[in-house]
A and B are shown apart, each in its own frame.
Chain A
Amino acid sequence: MSKSYVELDGKKGVSRRQFLKTGAGVLMGTLAASSGILATLAPSSSWALTTKALSSEEANSILQVTRAIFPHDQLDDAVYALVVKDLDASAVEDPSVATLLRNGLMALNKSANGDWSSLDYLQRENLVIKMAGTDFFEKIRGTSVVSLYNNEMAWAHFGYEGSSYETGGYFDRGFQDLDWLPNPPANDSPAKA
């Protein structure tokens, strides 16, 4: 499980140059004003991710590809950055992954007749969809389906509450608070003891 900002290096007043000292690239962002619930998890509204195998431009493009494969319009880039983080780690461990990602981005640029990342998001998404089934697409899809949904920022966004043991479970915290359907009779669902 990713601990959101613990790993995403939330820092105030960071500069791209500071981050480039330690890695090949850097992804930076600011939580959108609409991401109120995420802001409560973050030490600051700006975040940064240093990458070791991917350049800044590549990391940014991979983030956009991830958005195109799993287009949650309201989900903040900071969550997608966790997928980039895992892909970058995978590329560090296995150079063939770095090559796979680079070649995939080159193919996207080719299909865009130029800079794929400069297209508008629907055009970007359409070109990514055309790559479905390729190793490039599958690598990003397979990583995303775990990384994108297995972190506390995603849980906050989608409303999932995560571990409940520390707070005593849901016995006194709404396990039967649904009020838009009739309550079953006691025979079928006995009162809690």
Chain B
Amino acid sequence: MSKIELNDDSVVVVIGSGAGGGTLANELCQKGIKVVLLEAGQRESAASFQNNEWGSFGQLSWLDKRTTSGSWRVARDFSGLPAWICKTVGGSTTHWAGASLRIQDHEFRARSHYGDLDGANLLDWPLTLKELEPYYDKAEDKLGVTRTNGIPGLPGNNNFKVMHAGAKKLGYKNCHTGRMAINSRIRDGRTSCRQLGFCFQGCKMDAKWSTMNSEIPKAEKTGVLDLRPGSQVLKIEHNKIGKANAVVYVDDTGVEHRQKARVVCVAGNSIETPRLLLNSESSQYPDGLANSSGQVGRNYMRHMTGSVYATFDEPVHMWRGTTMAGIITDESKHDPSRGFVGGYEMETLSLGLPFMAAFLDPGGWGRDFCRAMDNYRNMAGMWLVGEDMPQESNRITVHATEKDQYGMPVPNVHFDDHPNDIAMREHAYQQGRAVYEAAGANHVYPVPAYPSTHNLGTCRMSEKSSDGVCNKNGQTHDIKNLFISDGSQFTTGASENPTLTIVSLAIRQADYIAEQMVAKNI
């Protein structure tokens, strides 16, 4: 690992070490490009991860102050915790379940395929599936995704058996143990899954891919990475001609530093990324960096989500084994006859007893609540995740008065469900119920959304600079050496879990940045 000088202005500074930033940093380092990787959180490891839900939540989660507004239920149930994402080396790849799905061709063309929807700010991606396919190939190989590259699927657990039985009775065609970035065989120096059941808590086997256990160690071996954990970025600075030239951050001990930069890449997840651009306002950029379109922070998407849990007469023990153990993909098509555009995935999910109590019915109590908990052994569960509509008014703003521990304005997350989101959620709840009733459920519990894990779209890519914040390379329209490198780039949300696409975009962006640096365009 190298130590890069603060006044070295030849480096790429990457902010955030998750799926986007961690991957981008490694890809650049592999090309011999010097990278300073700033991560707000601390470095954990398989050894320090905890098989304990609340303990791990305290260890990995981003718990800095955030506020919420809007009519979404999360604002009521978890008003100070709009998102369940991580502040640690590896970011939310420590916490993700591992589902690795490609966005479908038509989903890249949402505006032309779905048409104009009232209240939706739909737009086609400036990128096609065909253009991204070679990078999806690389990403699947990098992550060791099961059911690709000759890697066998994972064996299904009890929770999957229930889903599968119901799906087949209902006539669904595509139900299997998923495409997962969890080793079913020893691969790439990481062992295979032992079915611990704590995927969300950081995999203690390192069987699940994360940037913490894969990209970052590989980047460190190149000798050109300088990873700085405990570094909270406050501001991106620019020079007189408007190019980004430095990043100001605070370290663990409260000392402020200024790292010079040739290129700056922001990958703080879709709340922190726009927050940083907005908080970096200057006299030249009074509305924040890269915000001539006014779209920074807008079109915040969080996927249509919900869960269905059900109890049966016999034991399930759903917590045994991979958290996301299988998938039904039949509903991820676009079929407007269902009463909405876009589609959704149905994926098994389990929560341990402590989180089941917290999330089953937030604010709940009494005999019905207790009856569900009393039947915890006999419970199966699934998560519903689908495409939500981008809306200009769903947005991240910086708070007028509330400040964080560094004196920076905190982000507010505003979200209202679009009628399409509501129609899709109702359909998904009904189908989830049908799956479990077909498998013999005695009670079905529709469960509201958890704090958002898929935060997307707040610095979206667009063909025209008036429609979005960055181009198809994640390069901001306004500032050529400033890049968006996380899920904030997504033009629309699609129905798939976003990590594989974030990784693919990061690999592609690394090629572009390297090429542009050689050409001296940036």
Contact = CB atoms under 8 A, between A and B. Distances in A.
A175 B353 contact: no
Contacts of B105: none
A177 B184 contact: no
A170 B376 contact: no
Contact of B153 (A155, A162, A181, A189): A189
A150 to B, nearest CB: 4
B162 A178 contact: yes
B376 A158 contact: yes
Contacts, number: 163
Contact of B51 (A141, A165, A191): A165
A189 to B, nearest CB: 3
Interface range on chain A (Cβ under 8 Å from partner)? 35 or more
A134 interface: no
Binding site of B, secondary structure by majority: helix, strand, loop or mixed?
A: loop
Contacts of A159: 315, 317, 376-377
Given A150-B354, A159-B376, A189-B176, A169 B192 contact: no
Nearest to A166: B51
Interface stretch (B272-280, B367-375, B442-450): B367-375
Q: Quick one: which of B50, B177, B321 has the most chain A CB within 10 A?
A: B321
Contacts of B154: 190
B354 A184 contact: no
Nearest to B184: A193
Contacts of B53: 150
Interface in B195-215: 195-198, 204-205
A70 B365 contact: yes
Contacts of A177: 158, 317
B55 A154 contact: no
Contact of A189 (B164, B196, B320): B164
Nearest to B174: A188
A192 interface: yes
B358 interface: yes
B314 interface: yes
B358 A165 contact: no
A13 interface: no
B223 interface: no
Contacts of B161: 176, 178, 181, 183-184, 189
B195 A190 contact: no
A193 B176 contact: no
B198 A165 contact: yes
Contact of B353 (A158, A184, A191): A158
Nearest to B316: A178
A178 B374 CA distance: 19
Contacts of B175: 184, 188
B130 to A, nearest CB: 28
B155 interface: yes
Interface of A: 1, 69-72, 74, 129, 132, 141, 144-146, 148-150, 154-155, 158-165, 168-171, 173-178, 180-184, 187-193
23 contacts: A71-B367, A72-B370, A154-B353, A159-B317, A160-B352, A163-B51, A164-B198, A165-B204, A169-B196, A169-B321, A173-B320, A174-B317, A175-B195, A176-B156, A178-B162, A178-B316, A183-B161, A184-B161, A188-B153, A188-B156, A188-B164, A189-B160, A191-B155
